[in-house]
Amino acid sequence: VGLEREQAERTASGESGAAENSSDVHSSIMSDDEDEDWPKPSVIVSMVFADDRPAAVSFPRTRVASYLRQLSLKLTVQYLAYVFDTWNDTTPALHDDMVAAYLGLVEENEGRDDEHELRRRLQLFLKTSHQYSPEKALARLPDDRLFEERALILSRLGRHEQALCLLVFSVADLALAEQYCVENLDNCANVFVLLLGILVSNPPTDIADNEAEQIRAEEVPKEPADDGKSADFLQRDLEAVRTRIHRRFAGHLLSKYHQNIPANSALRLLPLDMEFTHDLFVYLRGQLCALDQDMRASNVVRNLRIGEDFQARRQLQRLQSGYVVVSDTRTCPQCLKRIGSGTAFAVIPPSRTNPGDAPVVVHYSCWQRQKSAIKLSDAATSKLHAADDFGGHGVENEDGVSPSASETFAPAARVSLKWV
């Protein structure tokens, strides 16, 4: 009895120790602090899941990502980044999980030093990945922040005008809007025209106008409180400064990207009271030079086509000037029968060796039989030439040259017929 009691106590102590060890393992995995006995969680993920071993490759990646998401979003991002970079996984669900993990990390680190780096990595993923769902990613974004990420997702959906409105008024970064136009020029040819229209119009009412706060803090001078000036005056002053900044930047776009902004679209958008600056002069000069170049190129093409048409007419006239006379007494040299007016016939042009000879007129049926005979003769001649390679002798004419039936008989050239 004493031995059984002692064994039971040892078993209970062993189970409690194993439970304590398991809880220690879990706590060490959940924490990012260094420990003497356990490696970092990122090292564990690299050793177990993000590895080139067949077992790690065969793991169900969606379940692994879901398990790591319960532990830490950093581990999820680390695992999915390895899956995309190493194994080139294009599963849409995993790419959606990556966007959700990045957004969760950005929300957790709001206001911290890591937020800028996390947003940079999220923006890079939104630009490079083509497998995530833009609609799902757009639904996960908050309404009052992350406007740059929203603009990237809107560009993926083809809503470039909304994306540019966010960059101009919510992000308040005109240089970023210019960069957006350069990057999306292949997808939307009139993207600069859209930006130009936004710059010369009022901000929409359904988006956050952070540009006004920025202008109020930097450009509009602060008036003293006892000055007696109302808020309406300050608002008009703000709009005047905004208009001046936008029109100056619009002139910059017109002068730098004049080849991408058609004049018929730009001049229709520009306000009548816009100042004629040097940038506008450069734009109009570039448009006039491009128009003159197009007109010169069109004239060159027109003259080339006129020359080609003249050459084609001369060749047609030369071909139509040739004719053969078919009288009631003319006979076919193949069958020696008369060629009547109701009989189908063919015209054989002169041979290459004697181009000055007159064309030969034969019955169409005789021409068909002769053409069939030529094919049989060519086949026999090729067999004889093949026999010559083994010591045989080919067939030669009186001049000692093997005749080529395809040269002695060619299709008729286009000629006119004159009945006599």
Tokens representing 107 are 């929300």
Angstrom distances, CA of residue 164 to CA of 132, 184, 204, 209 = 22, 11, 12, 13
- State the Cα–Cα distance between residues 92 and 196, nearest whole angstrom: 36
- Count Cβ atoms within 10 A of the Cβ of residue 374 and give its class: 0-12 exposed, 13-18 middle, 19 or more buried: middle
- Per-residue pLDDT of 116-144, as tens digits, reads 999 999 999 999 999 999 999 999 999 88
Nearest to 78 by CA among 59, 97, 55: 97
What pLDDT, on a 0 to 100 scale, did the predictor assign at position 213? Answer: 83
Structure tokens at 217: 């803090």
Which helix (H) or strand (E) element contains residue 360? strand 360-363
pLDDT surpassing 80 at residue 18: no
Which pair of structure tokens corresponds to residue 350?
């002169």
Kindly tell me if the per-residue pLDDT of 244 is higher than 80.
yes
pTM: 0.65
The β-bridge partners of 361 are 347
Q: Torsions phi, psi of 310, nearest 5?
A: -65, -40
pLDDT of the residue at 284: 93
Over residues 43-90, the pLDDT tens digits come to 777 777 877 788 788 889 999 999 999 989 999 999 999 999 989 999
Distance CA 305, CA 102 (A): 60
The C-alpha angle 392, 398, 401, rounded to 5 degrees, equals 55
Give yes or no for residue 242 having a pLDDT over 70. yes
Report which of 136, 135, 181, 129 is spatially closest to residue 157, judged by C-alpha positions.
135
pLDDT score of 216: 77
Q: Please compute the mean of the pLDDT values over residues 278-302 and round it to a whole number.
A: 94
DSSP 144: S
Whether 196 shows a pLDDT value over 80: the answer reads yes
User: What burial class does residue 82 get, using C-beta atoms within 10 Å of its C-beta: 0-12 exposed, 13-18 middle, 19+ buried?
Assistant: middle
Dihedral sign from CA coordinates of 275, 279, 284, 285: positive
What is the average pLDDT value for the chain, to the nearest integer?
Answer: 80
Percent of the chain with pLDDT over 90: 46
pLDDT band at 401 (very low <50, low <70, confident <90, very high): very low
Helices vs. strands in the chain: H and E counts, helices first: 18, 4
User: Alpha carbon of 362 to those of 62, 132, 171: distances in Å?
Assistant: 82, 75, 86
Tens-digit pLDDT profile for residues 294-304: 999 999 999 99
Encode burial over 2-28: b for 16+ CB neighbours within 10 A, e otherwise. eeeeeeeeeeeeeeeeeeeeeeeeeeb
Give the model's pLDDT for residue 405. Answer: 40
The whole-number pLDDT of residue 349 equals: 77
For the record, the structure tokens of 48 come out as 């177990």
**Higher local confidence (pLDDT), 408 or 325:** 325
For the segment 329-341, what is each residue's pLDDT rounded down to a tens digit? Answer: 888 988 988 887 7
